[in-house]
């Protein structure tokens, strides 16, 4: 009997040890995260942030088509990305609250955008929108970079539309709610495991009213893009359009760590936008860490605000450590992410970096080109470090003494250009909607929480919170 009792005691200790080990991997909101929330912006800070935000807003306001008013995907193109339009719609309440446009002007802009998108027939399949549309009329455009619907771009569009719907109400709200209700996420789910496909492609280039197929890739690794897709998929107001919340917890959660810094859940390629895009709208500080085990999933409980804070801290440290090799980087020059810049052939193109720790195992710095939008998007997570970096970047000069990467909004510029590289003293004269957008929204959230507050008022968001089991703090 004593032998059995000893075995039971040993088993209990082993179980307790495993439980403690699992709990030790949980990523819980830290005192540093709460301190960032209370950061006291000075008058000088606010003047700088006003300038940066005004430049972003001016791009999203001025670079719009006519009559539909959809923003350009990037400078010098007639194509609009619906993801950029999502950021554009969320920018409108900011413009009103900061006094840059009137409420009536902003509401009319929202209506022009949403009427064109929602009422056009050949720009969506199963309620999920094309990645790119014509910025003047929201129609399919055959010479776009790709002609296919996109679940993640639709998710960003839908996320961005929600704050506008809440803020303006009336017809804007009606159009936003229709956009949400029409999205048939179940039609994009892989039959065997219900994971979402990247999108759908028609067999005919010039129409979606044809046979077609889902793209073979699915969202299966936890990250900001995946979170937005599954959040909206489980929250659909229509039973025949929604996914079961257990699907959202099937995504892989892999812990990574840089040196002796705190571990965090890493994304596929480690690019920083894959940690913060969802937090343009979702305020994870409101919630306790989620728990995959409650939905049959695996992996640690995670507060995703804290996870992103740790990812930014590790990213900044990696940039500092890499600075002897890549001179664009430094203590106040960090923020590496997809952007327009010089490729290895010294030609201007789109750069996509992969930085450890990640799932891919790749570490590709693309010459150390810095994207200021990545840096600015860190403001809610590490405000002091972000402000110091933004000040230094703004003061960078080229060989003639002219600002390298800053174009003053008071002189018609849109603030920070998309990137810079000091080795080549190059900053492309380019702006990208999905880079300008998060910079504007995350700065505003750090200052006032405006977009977070609007987003969390919508029934679609409240359904997602309930169905995903997120518990209010």
How would DSSP label each residue in 94-155?
HHHHTTSS-HHHHHHHHHHHHHHHHH-STTEETTEEBSEEETTT----TTSS--SEEHHHHH
The lowest-confidence range among 9-13, 22-26, 344-348 is: 9-13
Residue 262 — very low, low, confident or very high, per pLDDT cuts 50/70/90?
Answer: very high
Instruction: Supply angle C-alpha 263, 264, 270, rounded to 5.
Output: 115
| Helix, strand, coil % over all residues of the chain, rounded to 5 | 45, 15, 40
What pLDDT digit, counting tens, does each position of 209-260 carry?
Answer: 999 999 999 999 999 999 999 999 999 999 999 999 999 999 999 999 999 9
Q: From the centroid of its chain, how far is CA 16?
A: 38
Residue 24 — very low, low, confident or very high, per pLDDT cuts 50/70/90?
Answer: low
What pLDDT digit, counting tens, does each position of 298-317 carry?
Answer: 999 999 999 999 999 999 99
State the chain's mean pLDDT as an integer. 94
Residue pair 259/322 in contact by the 8 Å Cβ criterion: no
Q: What is the pTM of this model?
A: 0.94
Q: What integer pLDDT is reported at residue 11 of this predicted model?
A: 39
Residue 367 — very low, low, confident or very high, per pLDDT cuts 50/70/90?
Answer: very high
Q: What integer pLDDT is reported at residue 76 of this predicted model?
A: 86
Q: What is the mean pLDDT of residues 178-185?
A: 98
Q: What integer pLDDT is reported at residue 6 of this predicted model?
A: 42
Neighbours of 178 (CB within 10 A): 14
Structure tokens at 105: 């002007």
Q: What integer pLDDT is reported at residue 259 of this predicted model?
A: 97
Q: What is the mean pLDDT of residues 386-395?
A: 98
Report the share of the chain in percent with pLDDT over 70. Answer: 95
Q: What integer pLDDT is reported at residue 102 of this predicted model?
A: 98
Query: Cβ contacts of residue 60 below 8 Å, gap of 6+?
Result: 71, 84, 87, 88, 91, 433, 436, 437, 440
How many residues are given for the chain?
473
Q: How far apart are CA 119 and CA 164, in angstroms?
A: 18
Neighbours of 193 (CB within 10 A): 10
Specify the DSSP class assigned to residue 302. B
Say yes or no to pLDDT of 121 above 70.
Answer: yes
Q: What integer pLDDT is reported at residue 465 of this predicted model?
A: 98
Q: What is the mean pLDDT of residues 266-286?
A: 98
Q: How far apart are CA 13 and CA 196, in angstroms?
A: 41
Say yes or no to pLDDT of 87 above 90.
Answer: yes
What pLDDT digit, counting tens, does each position of 395-423 carry?
Answer: 999 999 999 999 999 999 999 999 999 99
What pLDDT digit, counting tens, does each position of 9-22 carry?
Answer: 333 333 333 333 34
Q: What integer pLDDT is reported at residue 178 of this predicted model?
A: 98
Neighbours of 21 (CB within 10 A): 9
Q: What is the mean pLDDT of residues 341-355?
A: 92
Structure tokens at 249: 């917890």
Residue pair 231/248 in contact by the 8 Å Cβ criterion: yes
Closest CA to 442 of 253, 312, 271: 312
Q: Residue 429, SS3?
A: coil
The lowest-confidence range among 58-67, 81-90, 266-275, 339-348 is: 339-348
DSSP string, 296-307: T--S--B-HHHH
């Amino acid at each position: 009997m004593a032998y059995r009792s000893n075995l039971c005691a040993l088993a209990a200790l082993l179980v307790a040890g495993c439980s403690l080990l699992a709990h030790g991997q949980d990523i819980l909101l830290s005192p540093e995260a709460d301190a960032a929330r209370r950061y006291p912006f000075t008058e000088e800070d606010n003047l700088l942030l006003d300038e940066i935000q005004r430049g972003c807003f001016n791009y999203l306001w001025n670079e719009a088509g006519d009559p539909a008013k959809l923003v350009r995907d990037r400078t010098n193109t007639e194509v609009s990305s619906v993801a950029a339009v999502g950021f554009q719609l969320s920018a409108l309440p900011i413009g009103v609250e900061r006094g840059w446009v009137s409420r009536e002007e902003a509401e009319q802009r929202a209506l022009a955008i949403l009427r064109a998108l929602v009422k056009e027939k050949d720009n969506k399949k199963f309620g999920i929108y094309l990645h790119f549309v014509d910025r003047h009329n929201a129609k399919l455009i055959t010479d776009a970079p790709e002609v296919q619907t996109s679940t993640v771009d639709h998710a960003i569009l839908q996320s961005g539309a929600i704050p506008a719907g809440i803020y303006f109400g009336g017809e804007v709200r009606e159009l936003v709610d229709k956009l949400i209700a029409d999205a048939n996420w179940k039609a994009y789910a892989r039959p065997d495991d219900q994971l979402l496909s990247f999108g759908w492609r028609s067999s005919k280039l010039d129409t979606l009213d044809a046979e077609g197929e889902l793209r073979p890739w699915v969202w299966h690794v936890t990250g900001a893009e995946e979170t937005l897709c599954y959040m909206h998929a489980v929250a659909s107001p229509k039973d025949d359009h929604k996914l079961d919340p257990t699907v959202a917890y099937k995504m892989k959660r892999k812990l990574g760590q840089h040196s002796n810094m705190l571990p965090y859940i890493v994304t596929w390629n480690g690019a920083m936008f894959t940690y913060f895009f969802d937090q343009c709208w979702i305020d994870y500080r409101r919630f306790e860490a989620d728990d995959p085990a409650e939905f049959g999933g695996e992996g640690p409980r995670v507060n995703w605000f804290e996870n992103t804070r740790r990812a930014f801290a590790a990213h900044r440290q990696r940039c500092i450590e890499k600075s002897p090799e890549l001179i664009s980087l430094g203590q106040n020059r960090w923020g590496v992410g997809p952007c327009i810049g010089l490729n290895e052939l010294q030609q201007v193109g789109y750069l996509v970096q992969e930085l450890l720790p990640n799932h891919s195992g790749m570490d590709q710095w693309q010459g150390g080109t810095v994207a200021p939008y990545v840096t600015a998007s860190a403001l809610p997570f590490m405000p002091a470090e972000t402000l110091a970096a933004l000040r230094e970047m703004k003061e960078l000069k080229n060989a003639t003494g002219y600002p390298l990467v800053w174009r003053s909004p008071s002189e018609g510029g849109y603030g920070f250009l998309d990137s810079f590289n000091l080795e080549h003293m190059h900053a492309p004269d380019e702006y990208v909607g999905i880079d300008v957008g998060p910079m504007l929204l995350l700065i505003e959230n750090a200052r006032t929480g405006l977009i977070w507050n609007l987003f969390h008022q919508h029934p679609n968001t409240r359904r997602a919170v309930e169905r995903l089991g997120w518990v209010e703090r």
